[in-house]
Amino acid sequence: MSQPIILKSSAEIDIMFQANQIVAGTLKMLESRIEPGISTWQLDRWAEDNCRKCDSIPAFKGYRGFPGSLCVSINEQVVHGIPSRKIILHDGDIISIDFGVCFKGYFGDSAITVPVGNISNEVKLLLQVTEESLYKGIEQVRVGRRIDDISTAVQKHVEKFGYSVVRKFVGHGIGSNLHEAPEIPNYHRKKRTARILPGMVLAIEPMINMGTHDVKVLKDGWTVVTRDGRPSAHFEHSVAVTEGDPVVLSSRD
């Protein structure tokens, strides 16, 4: 039986905006500090310290046993990479940083993929197209449309460039729980999906691979990698549905 979709009041969405702005500020700070030679553990420390200064708690730390505050995934790693003192960033890497907080009982969640030093034009295009696909999805967040309109918009955009959509992991609703209904795949499914209603808050997160969509989980039980070893990019925003334009709660502008 599917979970009910929980609609939020404007007061709840205001708190979720604050939660997501803590996330957004943290991601901007991390992006400004990323350079070759830094460990993913150091990024995790900075994120958790910043989050706690803002009277929030890291959403991922301890979630189903996950050990870090950040998910940090490098190159062919898709999602759920574990921060480590042993993992050092190198020139030419790309790193996906996924971060969430809980603030006053509500969650914020967002992700970016950023270059470390100089990256190839081929990989730059992957990052650009993946981020564009996120905004193509957000454009579909209109009352009366369906979740599948988001999914289809993401898939159509990235497949024009020959990229593939990860199918094993999807976006989600968010609120007083980190993961709520509805699921938001980044690809079209031949089934009727939920209508988009005012008060929904959706974490839309394209995970896009340069090669095959096939992925596998490493022996640590968390880190997801592309099966062909080619790069993957990941961008995410938490978005509130209103009667008018969608509101990107995790906007970094």
141-198 tens-digit pLDDT? 999 999 999 999 999 999 999 999 999 999 999 999 999 999 999 999 988 999 999 9
Q: Note whether 162 and 206 are within 8 A (CB).
A: no
In the three-class reduction of DSSP (H, G, I as helix; E, B as strand; rest coil), residue 207 is classed as strand
Can you give the length of the chain in residues? 253
Residue 182: asked if its preceding bond is cis (omega within 30°), the reply is: yes
Beta bridge partners of 79: 224
Whole-number Å distance between alpha carbons of 173 and 162: 28
3 state SS of 247: strand
In CATH, what is the architecture of 10-245? Alpha-Beta Complex (3.90)
1 — pLDDT class (breaks 50, 70, 90): low
Distance CA 112, CA 170 (A): 16
**pLDDT, mean of residues 71-92:** 98
Structure tokens at 165: 């959509």
Beta bridge partners of 173: 180, 202
- This prediction has a pTM of 0.98
Q: How far apart are CA 202 and CA 151, in angstroms?
A: 12
* pLDDT of the residue at 2: 73
